[in-house]
DNA sequence: CTGAAAGCGCTAACAA
DNA sequence: TTGTTAGCGCTTTCAG
């Protein structure tokens, strides 16, 4: 039903070159010929075949976005932003979800490379030298976000340590004396990438240790809710620091079941500032990820192909919302 | 850095055809030659150029997914599912977000067609004959989901009327005498597609009118929260039916501010069963969209290219969660 | 201003 | 078993 350039050329009794000059309005063509060709094109519903064009030009105007999942609102918002920015620059998005599966991450990345996307934005689930050279083998501009891989890969993420430090200082200054850290540090597979969480943990420990008499307890297993259920919060003024709002909400729900009040009996803080918090009482303290900025930096660095020059390494400062849960 | 088939052929001192037989292990090649070529390929990091392959084969193994946004958890979950199913079938996903902008929807769809995706899953924001023939002009298998366009397009959605009817029956049987309907019916642009909401509204009206003495009030404007703020709920036993959980949560928040209790002072029900409801008290009554089923039907119908044969038209039955808010 | 021809990288039919 | 060749649809250089 739809025609291609060759057929158009025949229909108009001109050569391929002329058709091309008309369609992509290049100079060097009689305005009337152009007009005629354009009308014929519209009449026959000509649609350029971008696969052919991309092959010819060695450029696809597509970027690959590879991330853990879309269930976490952080990622869906990120995808939204990347897609939005790409759209404005006439780029299109190939999406791949890894489910934190390292094999799948590699396959997805390989596919992106074979599809010759112009660049890749990657929230990595893998790390290590092997992975880093695997990335190099893809031979494409790659921007890592959130979790750092290497100093050899451009990166944009959060200034995690410092924000956690600020948070912990604030918590301590409110009189809390026992701090829990909730985050899946224990999930670490051989080459798993837990950069963000580790940074946050490091910031947590550093800051607490710079004070005297503050107790720290780490809950890194998936059964953190059960573990907290066995804690007696009346003995010591306690606060729970979570690396994600979801953890905090799970905990809040359980505390409520146990009849404990937040912040009356225990303080609670999340991370990410997901939309759902709007509907939660008490307003949860949290840290707002500058997602839009992150997406836009990631995208623009890829366009600039900063690959070869100085490897950019950007840390953004998130905003703390103190809410009413501390 | 990376080689192509031609270079591989030179490196191995064989012909292009032989290289191809080795790489795609087609028969008719000496096992040793194949071995040698494969080693060479690995050594030089050969990566097939899928753009070229796709051009040659006239098939991309990609599907386009075009939807409103990713902020609404319903859509991000849908994207997740589509991506997951596609992955299992060795298909890849091109994502486009329309922000309910009809021009953008058309551009996105046009791009998908030019990119020669093998099929498109569309949650449409447009409707009407014009749009329907526009879709036809794309000359590609298209599956519409959620909002119906036409009987000429395969569709999978909800049995909206019947589920709302069941819901309203339940509400009435609980003794409610005044029912509010909250949904953005008024957003309807010239060719806007509000199929789902209209269906729900129709079901709402039908069911109420089959009873005696039940009052119905429709709130179709964005200021529904303010409008509800002016309602005196003490005069009549009232319930609020929302077309989306988000509306219900906004309302719940405001009711709480006003010191009203749910369901004590007023009943409330949402739609979609978003994850965030886990953390809301009281447990909101809602309707669970069978997203996985929807995604998998949409995908498989596209693969079967049911385009030409009988146009499938599938309505799924969602599950009602009665929660504690009614 | 227009046409002819080569080539992007891969596939597949046809020869040898 | 291997090689040659044409062609997918488009872009672009070089002639005319």
Which token pair is A166? 């600020």
Q: Which of B293, B303, B297 is nearest to B141 (CA)?
A: B303
pLDDT at B186: 76
Chain B residues 230 to 249 with C-beta below 7 Å from nucleic strand D: none
Identify all chain B residues contacting A88, using CB atoms and an 8 Å cutoff: none
d(CA B93, CA B172): 44
Q: How confident is the model at residue A309 (pLDDT cuts 50, 70, 90)?
A: low
pLDDT average, residue stretch A146-163: 96
Vertex A294: Cα angle to A292 and A295 (nearest 5): 65
> For chain B, what is the HEC assignment?
CCCCHHHHHHHHCCCHHHHHHHHCCCCCCCHHHHHHHHHHHHHCCCCCCHHHHHHHHCCCCEEEEEECCCCCHHHHHHHHHHHHHHHHCCCEEEEEECCCCHHHHHHHHHHHHHCCCCEEEECCCECCHHHHHHHHHHCCCEEEECCCCCCCCCEEEECHHHHHHHHHHHHHHCCCCEEEEECCHHHCCCCECCHHHHHHHHHHHHHHHCCCCCEEEEECCCCHHHHHHCCCCCCCCEEEEECCHHHHHHHHHHHHHCCCCCCCCEEEECCECCHHHHHCCCCCEEEECCHHHHHHHHHHHHHCCCCCCCCCEEEECCEEECCCCC
In the stretch 119-158 of chain B, residues with CB closer than 8 A to chain A read 137, 139
* Residue pLDDT, tens place only, A169-227: 999 999 999 999 999 987 666 668 999 999 999 999 999 999 999 999 999 999 999 99
pLDDT average, residue stretch A241-268: 97
Which token pair is A326? 């501390």
Q: Which of A247-256, A296-305, B96-105, B220-229 has the lowest mean pLDDT?
A: A296-305
* Residue pLDDT, tens place only, B279-300: 999 999 999 999 999 999 999 9
Could you tell me if B76 lies within 8 Å of chain A, comparing CB atoms?
A: yes
Which residue(s) pair with A63 in the sheet? A93, A119
* Residue pLDDT, tens place only, B6-19: 999 999 999 999 99
A41 CB contact with strand D at below 7 Å: no
Q: Which of A165-174, B36-45, B189-198 has the lowest mean pLDDT?
A: B189-198
Residue B55 C-alpha, separation from nearest chain A C-alpha, in angstroms: 6
3-state secondary structure of A146: coil
pLDDT average, residue stretch A231-253: 96
pLDDT at B176 over 80: yes
* Residue pLDDT, tens place only, B147-175: 999 999 999 999 999 999 999 999 999 99
In whole angstroms, how large is the CA radius of gyration of chain A? Answer: 26
pLDDT at B260 over 70: yes
- C-alpha distances out from residue B74 to A148, B146, B271, Å: 30, 11, 10
pLDDT at A187: 64
In the stretch 166-225 of chain B, residues with CB closer than 8 A to chain A read none
Which long-range contacts link A302-309 to residues 24+ away (Cβ below 8 Å)? A302/A63, A302/A118, A302/A119, A302/A120, A302/A121, A302/A141, A302/A142, A302/A143, A303/A89, A303/A119, A305/A119, A305/A141, A306/A141, A306/A154, A307/A141, A307/A142, A307/A154
pLDDT at B187 over 80: no
pLDDT at A307 over 60: no
Which token pair is B24? 């795609």
Strand D: list positions under 7 Å from protein Cβ: 1-14
pLDDT average, residue stretch B118-134: 97
Q: Please check whether residue B284 is in contact with residue B243, taking contact to mean a CB–CB distance below 8 angstroms.
A: no
Question: Closest nt to B56 (CA→C1')?
Answer: D8
Q: With an 8 Å Cβ cutoff, are B70 and A83 in contact?
A: yes
What average pLDDT is seen over chain A?
Answer: 94
- Residue count (chain B): 326
CA dihedral of residues B103, B105, B106, B107 (deg, nearest 10)? 90
d(CA B157, CA B151): 13
Percentage of the residues of chain B whose pLDDT score is greater than 70: 97
A37 CB contact with strand C at below 7 Å: no
Q: Round to a whole number and report the distance in Å from the CA of B96 to the C1' of D9.
A: 25
* Residue pLDDT, tens place only, A70-108: 999 999 999 999 999 999 999 999 999 999 999 999 999
Could you identify the residue whose CA is nearest to the C1' atom of nucleotide D7? B56
């Amino acid at each position: 039903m739809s025609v291609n350039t060759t057929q158009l050329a025949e229909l108009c009794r001109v050569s391929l070159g002329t058709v091309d000059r008309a369609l992509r309005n290049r100079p060097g063509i009689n305005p009337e010929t152009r007009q005629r060709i354009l009308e014929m094109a519209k009449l026959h519903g000509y649609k350029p075949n971008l696969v052919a064009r991309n092959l010819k030009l060695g450029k696809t105007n597509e970027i690959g976005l590879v991330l853990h999942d879309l269930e976490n609102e952080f990622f869906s918002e990120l995808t939204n932003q990347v897609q939005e920015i790409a759209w404005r620059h006439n780029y299109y998005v190939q999406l791949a979800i890894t489910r934190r599966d390292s094999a799948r991450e590699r396959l997805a990345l390989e596919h992106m490379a074979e599809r010759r996307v112009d660049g890749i934005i990657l929230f990595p689930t893998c790390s290590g030298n092997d992975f880093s050279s695997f990335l190099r083998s893809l031979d494409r501009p790659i921007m890592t976000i959130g979790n750092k891989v290497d100093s050899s890969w451009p990166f944009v993420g959060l200034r995690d340590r410092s924000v956690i430090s600020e948070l912990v200082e604030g918590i301590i200054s409110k009189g809390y004396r026992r701090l829990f850290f909730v985050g899946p540090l224990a999930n670490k597979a051989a080459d798993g990438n837990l950069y963000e969480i580790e940074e946050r943990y490091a910031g947590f420990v550093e800051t607490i240790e710079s004070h005297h008499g503050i107790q720290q307890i780490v809950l890194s297993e998936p059964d953190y809710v059960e573990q907290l259920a066995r804690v007696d919060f009346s003995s010591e003024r306690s606060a729970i620091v979570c690396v994600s709002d979801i953890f905090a909400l799970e905990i809040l729900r359980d505390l409520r079941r146990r009849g404990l009040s937040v912040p009356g009996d225990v303080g609670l803080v999340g991370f990410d500032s997901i939309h759902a918090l709007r509907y939660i009482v008490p307003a949860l303290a949290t840290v707002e990820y500058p997602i839009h900025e992150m997406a836009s930096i990631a995208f623009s660095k890829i366009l600039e192909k900063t690959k070869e020059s100085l490897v950019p390494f950007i840390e953004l400062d998130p905003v703390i919302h103190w809410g009413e849960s501390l």
